[in-house]
């Protein structure tokens, strides 16, 4: 018995009038349910936290999306205890039963897909087009991991020995912590949590505060799919209190994190130490962002390159770890490409409006995020020629794109992750020089090269050091199973999500040997 081969979930077509009407109705239904209160979910129980966090619409901050109970450090420990109790049963559930549950989860998410589009629009300011790609990937995680866990459940073949029966199998680790960000609030927490649960582990999920209402919707997907109580526990909370308590807890066996470099390196340091009662070193997986470069040579299709660059630089307002934030242009393509680029950026940015109505360009996630980007905008004239300066607009956290030309490779706007609509342009003499510049950062997550010259493509393939290298396409838009995602250097430590070996992070190998006593010959 086997499942059908994996296939990526198709995207919705909003040009279809029937699809457009269905999505509008679903988003309107979400709007009617804004402002509700959301308790903690620990061991299947709904519990009150000591504080409430008001999650608001980044485009209209006066609109409260939900009032979320925030956990205390003591409640974080209670969630670990609930996960520990549930592990005894869940770890012994057969691989086929776990796979069946994941397939049910995929089906539930398909049914709730348009509703989730609305929650992403209101809580994190992501339009339908961006959100649908994300939710399709989240469905893929259910489907992909259902098949992967069946492949891993049979173990691996090892060298036989005539006098012994030997087995090499994989066991779940135990209780894990998933700490997820706000910018991909469905696919990133699900990518980590689904794989952990598929492997037979139990999970405590601490989502980013700004996406905590969406996390409750995801919890509902698992609940509707029939996941037993305590296998997934949801504890929104503030990082220094709840996140730290979870990372340091002696019964936590692994930590999977996606977020900023500062938080990721702190988690890595804290989780690596021993605390009283701890009996095993924790496994730590961190994905910590990027300073991604796109290189364009004179052999490129410039019109195609421009459209792809703009999509990856200011799609979702540049709030993606995979976004192009550095554009490295070989000298002889520089002037012509920049002229087209600025025109395309103006076109996309002028289509600004509410994410819930699927406008192309939206707000940043928060006032703090906007202020951070504005700090880089203010310093930009010191480091290059400002071709387009981002300005505020509207009631919410809106900020127009910034483009700065002739940026030196060693300055802050060429080295630091800005996480917003800010593009630094660097000049290079040759492709070789461009790749050298591209590699001169602490990050190595994604990168892109546009060229129709096979020799240039081969050079980039061999010398551009990133976890995900895209040739003649944008640096964003990874799909599970097709583009396994994850970086090197200070971009991350763990295996690549959506890869054939990702599940291995959540498993530990065991070798079992049984001696066979042969009868003595007479």
Identify the CA nearest to 194 among candidates 237, 236, 269, 144: 144
Active-site entry in 287, 308, 374, 417:
287
8 A C-beta contact, residue 451 and residue 460: yes
CA dihedral 181, 442, 440, 337 (to 10 degrees): 10
8 A C-beta contact, residue 443 and residue 290: yes
Identify the CA nearest to 414 among candidates 307, 325, 332, 501: 325
Helix, strand or coil, per DSSP, at residue 287? strand
Helix-then-strand count for the chain, H and E: 15, 23
Max Cα distance, the chain (Å)? 95
8 A C-beta contact, residue 102 and residue 143: yes
Q: Is 157 left (phi over 0), alpha (psi -120 to 50) or beta?
A: beta
Q: Which two tokens stand for residue 41?
A: 């979910």
Distance between CA atoms of residues 489 and 478, nearest Å? 19
H or E stretch covering 182: none
Q: What contacts 24+ positions apart, CB below 8 Å, involve 59-62?
A: 59/125, 59/354, 59/355, 59/362, 59/363, 59/394, 59/395, 59/396, 59/397, 59/398, 60/354, 60/395, 60/396, 61/367, 61/395, 61/396, 61/397, 62/395
- Beta bridge mates, 329: 296, 427
In sequence order, which ranges of 91-235 are alpha helices (DSSP H)?
Answer: 95-111, 113-124, 128-153, 187-198, 212-225
Distance between CA atoms of residues 379 and 229, nearest Å? 51
Q: Output b/e per residue, 154-189; b: 16+ Cβ within 10 A.
A: eeeeeeeeeeeeeeeebebbbbbbbbbbbbbbbbbb
Cα-based distances in Å from 22 to 18, 116, 117: 6, 13, 11
Cα-based distances in Å from 350 to 341, 357, 368, 393, 419: 14, 15, 23, 12, 20
Q: Is 287 a catalytic residue?
A: yes
Q: Which two tokens stand for residue 227?
A: 């996941």
Active-site entry in 115, 209, 321, 456:
321
8 A C-beta contact, residue 176 and residue 253: yes
Identify the CA nearest to 209 among candidates 358, 31, 65, 45: 65
Distance between CA atoms of residues 314 and 301, nearest Å? 20
Q: Is 85 a catalytic residue?
A: no
| Percent of the chain as helix, strand, coil, to the nearest 5 | 45, 20, 35
- Residues with a known catalytic role: 287, 321
């Amino acid at each position: 018995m086997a499942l059908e081969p994996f296939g990526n979930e198709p995207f919705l077509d909003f040009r279809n009038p029937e699809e457009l009407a269905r999505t509008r109705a679903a988003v309107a239904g979400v709007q009617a349910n804004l402002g509700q209160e959301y308790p903690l979910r620990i061991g299947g129980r709904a519990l009150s936290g000591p504080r409430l966090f008001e999650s608001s619409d980044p485009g209209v901050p006066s609109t409260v999306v939900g009032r979320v109970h925030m956990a205390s450090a003591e409640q974080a420990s209670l969630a670990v205890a609930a996960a520990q109790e549930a592990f005894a049963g869940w770890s012994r559930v057969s691989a086929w039963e776990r796979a069946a549950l994941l397939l049910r989860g995929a089906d539930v998410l398909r049914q709730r897909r348009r509703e989730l589009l609305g929650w992403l629009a209101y809580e994190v300011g992501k339009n339908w087009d961006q959100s649908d790609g994300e939710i399709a990937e989240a469905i893929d995680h259910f489907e992909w991991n259902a098949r992967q866990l069946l492949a891993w459940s049979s173990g691996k073949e090892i060298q036989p020995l005539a006098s012994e029966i030997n087995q090499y199998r994989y066991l779940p680790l135990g209780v894990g912590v998933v700490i997820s960000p706000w910018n991909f609030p469905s696919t990133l927490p699900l990518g980590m949590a689904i794989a952990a649960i598929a492997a037979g582990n139990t999970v405590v999920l601490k989502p980013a505060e700004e996406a905590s209402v969406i996390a409750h919707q995801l919890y509902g997907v698992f609940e509707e799919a029939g996941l037993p109580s305590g296998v997934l526990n949801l504890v929104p909370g503030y990082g220094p209190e709840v996140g730290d308590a979870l990372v340091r807890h002696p019964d936590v066996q692994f930590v999977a994190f996606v977020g900023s470099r500062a938080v990721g390196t702190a988690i890595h340091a804290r989780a690596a130490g021993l605390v009283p009662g701890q009996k095993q070193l924790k496994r730590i997986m961190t994905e910590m962002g990027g300073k991604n470069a796109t290189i364009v040579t004179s052999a490129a299709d410039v019109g195609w390159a421009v459209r792809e660059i703009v999509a990856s630089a200011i799609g979702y307002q540049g709030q993606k770890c995979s976004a192009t934030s550095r554009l490295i242009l070989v000298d002889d393509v520089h002037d012509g490409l920049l002229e087209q680029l600025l025109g395309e950026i103006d076109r996309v940015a002028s289509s600004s409006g509410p994410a819930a109505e699927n406008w192309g360009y939206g707000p940043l996630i928060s006032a703090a995020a906007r202020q951070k980007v504005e700090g880089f905008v203010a310093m930009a004239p010191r480091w290059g020629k400002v071709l387009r300066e981002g300005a505020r607009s509207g009631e919410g956290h809106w900020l127009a794109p910034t483009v700065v030309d002739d940026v030196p490779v060693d300055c802050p706007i060429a080295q630091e992750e800005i996480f917003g609509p800010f593009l630094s342009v660097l000049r290079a003499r040759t492709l070789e020089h461009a790749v050298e510049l591209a590699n001169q950062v602490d990050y190595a997550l994604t990168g892109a090269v546009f060229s129709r010259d096979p020799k240039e493509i081969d050079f980039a393939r061999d010398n551009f050091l990133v976890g995900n290298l895209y040739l003649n396409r944008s640096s964003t838009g990874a799909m599970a199973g097709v583009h396994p995602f994850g970086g090197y250097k200070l971009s991350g430590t763990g295996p690549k999500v959506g890869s054939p070996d990702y599940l291995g992070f959540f498993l530990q190998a065991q070798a079992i040997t049984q001696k066979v006593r042969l009868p003595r010959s007479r």
